[in-house]
């Protein structure tokens, strides 16, 4: 969880391996659909508000506050603004699962 939440500011290979290992272990154990990305608050600061991360730990896109998002990502943005969630799991069917800082998904 620490590696996921610090991905913007930690660029070392160990952090990337930790994220990849953590993310893959979650989805191998779940009965959920096909995860496509994680959406989270960006730690880089202005002008960035949030980002979309692939399941291999790579940031796909940093989004600016002024950027319009696809409807399912707009819903993820609203959830990511809450301090209650560390990140939002995004699935290929458009469903979203918020995940608390302790790693507990809210299903």
**pLDDT digits 0-9 by tens, 34-62:** 788 889 998 888 999 999 888 776 778 89
Tens digits of residue pLDDT in 74-96: 999 999 999 999 999 888 888 89
Q: Which of 2-16, 37-51, 59-73 has the lowest mean pLDDT?
A: 2-16
pLDDT (average), residues 61-76 = 91
Phi, psi for 106 (deg, rounded to 5): -105, 100
In the prediction, which pLDDT does 3 show? 58
Whole-structure pTM over 0.85, yes or no? no
In the prediction, which pLDDT does 79 show? 94
Residue 14 has pLDDT above 90, yes or no: no
**In the chain, where are the structural domains located?**
2-99
Strand order across the beta sheet in which 48-53 lies: 59-64, 48-53, 35-41, 87-91, 96-99
């Amino acid at each position: 969880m620490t590696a996921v939440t610090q991905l913007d500011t930690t660029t070392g290979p160990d952090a990337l391996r930790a994220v990849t290992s953590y993310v893959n272990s979650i989805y191998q154990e779940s009965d959920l659909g096909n995860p496509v990305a994680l959406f989270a608050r960006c730690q880089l600061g202005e002008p960035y508000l949030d980002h979309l991360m692939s399941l291999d730990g790579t940031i796909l896109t940093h989004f600016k506050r002024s950027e319009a998002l696809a409807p399912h990502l707009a819903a993820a943005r609203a959830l990511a603004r809450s301090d209650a969630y560390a990140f939002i799991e995004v699935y290929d069917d458009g469903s979203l699962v918020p995940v608390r800082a302790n790693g507990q998904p809210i299903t």
